[in-house]
Amino acid sequence: EVQLVESGGGLIQPGGSLRLSCAASGFTVSGNYMSWVRQAPGKGLEWVSIIYSGDGTYYADSVKGRFTISRDNFKNTLYLQMSSLRVEDTALYYCAGTIGAAVYFAYWGQGTLVTVSS
């Protein structure tokens, strides 16, 4: 059974930094495309970033230059380093995995909440 478990969320002041983690089991982070998707309170889904199995990375325009996606193959864990956080980054952050090079999200974690507020 595939499990994706996010952690690292919390309350952070504007301008601060935070690192999210997504620990995978039953699923290989390195062999599949992995993304972060966020959902602001009461809003829709917003794709944030993706890391390909070949290490290529892409970011939504709203976070480019501030967020960095990475993974630790040994720990089978996905990360999202977030810096220069803004109030509008407040959201539930989901880790989502594809099957191989698919362009849809087959697996989702339960999310970790990031609140950016002074």
Partner 1 sequence: SYVLTQPPSVSVAPGRTARITCGGHHIGSTSVHWYQQKPGQAPVLLIYYDSNRPSGIPERFSGSSSGNTATLAISRVEAGDEATYFCQVWDSTTDHRVFGGGTKLTVL
Residue of 3, 13, 25, 110 that binds partner 1 (CB under 8 A) = 110
How many whole angstroms separate alpha carbon 98 and alpha carbon 75? 18
Binding-site string for partner 1 from residue 53 to residue 82, where x marks contact by CB under 8 A and - marks none: -----x-xx---------------------
How many whole angstroms separate alpha carbon 69 and alpha carbon 78? 8
Strand 77-82 and strand 10-12: pairing?
Answer: unpaired
How many whole angstroms separate alpha carbon 53 and alpha carbon 90? 28
CB of 44 or CB of 65, closer to partner 1: 44
CB of 65 or CB of 103, closer to partner 1: 103
* Residue found by looking up tokens 């935070």 in the block: 18
Number of residues that bind partner 1 (CB under 8 A): 20
Residues that bind partner 1 (CB under 8 A): 35, 37, 44-47, 50, 58, 60-61, 94, 102-106, 108-111
